[in-house]
């Protein structure tokens, strides 16, 4: 059994094609090859926080995975990161623990951002003049970095509740080649962007249907528990195409779940990202279509990135077949 720390994992994944690994996972899931039980979850009030337990395997694969990921949103006030966690990779044939990936939440953040890039690759308009971002935290930064792999746009409009954090976001991202402007309201982001990524833990809508211009794509990332939402349900009603990472999971959490409860969307009209990747469902209907991708975070993403990290870690140690 091998134990790896965050710095080792980050170094091993430098230059890795994470987007391709996540795409392969979505394809396998939509082909029915993934065994993924319902999400385990604990939600805390004082202080506010949540813990997700996600686990599963792909049929015919060498490993199964168990992940624990937490988010405690007052941690920055204590000088601590808001998210943490680890992944446990087991050998499927024997049940033996192959690796402890003590990534402190890094792998979860990275695979989430990679899924955002997959969604944009499939659904964003061919020409993106401005990327809108809601949120200024880790995911807001990683999403932008991953989007650089699938779009040439570097014009960014960001909104955050804390002006100081928005200024820090601009300071950190501009050296990477992005030109970042700070919006005073979420409405500015909605009305002035072609590709919008929402990354907040909001429990109330931040974007409304009448704010969107034709041709807009939204990747909604923040609503990964049943109580969270960032989009008004009417956004889904107006959308020409709504995609989810895993529709059976989107029934209980995420933007699709709120749309179903309010009657603004029908599950039969939604598609999975994996089906779009496989070509079994049509993609973006037209240049002026409004599209939404609801990313609730699926264990197949964790399986894929954990395997990728483990194999690259072992290769760095001189072991190519394990």
User: Catalytic positions, please?
Assistant: 67
As a whole number of angstroms, the distance between CA 153 and CA 150 comes to 9
Taking the C-alpha atoms of residue 270 and residue 220, their distance in angstroms, rounded to an integer, is 15
CA–CA gap between residue 52 and residue 214 (Å, rounded):
36
Rounded CA-CA distance 275/107 in Å is: 24
CA distance 13 to 99: 16
Residue 3 phi/psi, 5-degree rounding, is -120, 125
Structure tokens at 321: 């077949």
Task: Report the phi/psi class of residue 215: left, alpha or beta, with left for phi > 0 and alpha for psi in -120 to 50.
Answer: left
DSSP track, 299-321:
HHHHHHHHHHHHHHHHHHTT---
Structure tokens, 41: 């979850």
């Amino acid at each position: 059994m091998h134990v790896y720390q965050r710095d080792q994992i980050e170094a091993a994944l430098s230059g890795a094609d994470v987007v391709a690994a996540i795409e392969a996972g979505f394809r396998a899931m939509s082909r029915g090859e993934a065994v993924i039980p319902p999400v385990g979850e604990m939600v805390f009030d004082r202080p506010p926080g949540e813990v997700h337990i996600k686990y599963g395997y792909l049929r015919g694969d060498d490993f199964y995975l168990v992940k624990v990921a937490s988010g405690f949103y007052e941690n920055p006030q204590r000088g601590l990161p808001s998210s943490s966690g680890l992944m446990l990779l087991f050998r499927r044939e024997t049940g033996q623990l192959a690796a402890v990936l003590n990534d402190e939440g890094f792998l979860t953040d990275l695979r989430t951002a990679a899924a955002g890039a997959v969604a944009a690759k499939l659904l964003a308009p061919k020409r993106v003049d401005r990327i809108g971002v809601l949120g200024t935290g880790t995911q807001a930064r990683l999403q932008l970095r991953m989007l650089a792999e699938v779009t040439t746009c570097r014009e960014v409009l960001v909104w955050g509740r804390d002006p100081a954090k928005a200024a820090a976001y601009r300071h950190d991202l501009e050296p990477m080649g992005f030109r970042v402007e700070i919006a005073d309201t979420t409405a500015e982001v909605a009305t002035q962007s072609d590709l919008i990524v929402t990354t907040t833990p909001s429990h109330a809508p931040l974007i409304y249907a009448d704010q969107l211009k034709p041709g807009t794509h939204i990747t909604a990332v923040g609503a990964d528990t049943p109580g969270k939402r960032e989009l008004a349900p009417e956004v889904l009603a107006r959308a020409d195409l709504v995609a989810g990472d895993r529709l059976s999971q989107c029934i209980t959490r995420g933007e699709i779940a709120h749309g179903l409860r309010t009657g603004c969307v029908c599950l039969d009209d939604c598609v999975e990202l994996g089906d779009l990747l496989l070509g079994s469902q049509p993609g973006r209907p037209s240049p002026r279509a409004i599209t939404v991708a609801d990313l609730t975070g699926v264990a197949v993403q964790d399986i894929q990135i954990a395997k990728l990290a483990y194999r690259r870690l072992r290769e760095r140690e001189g072991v190519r077949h394990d």
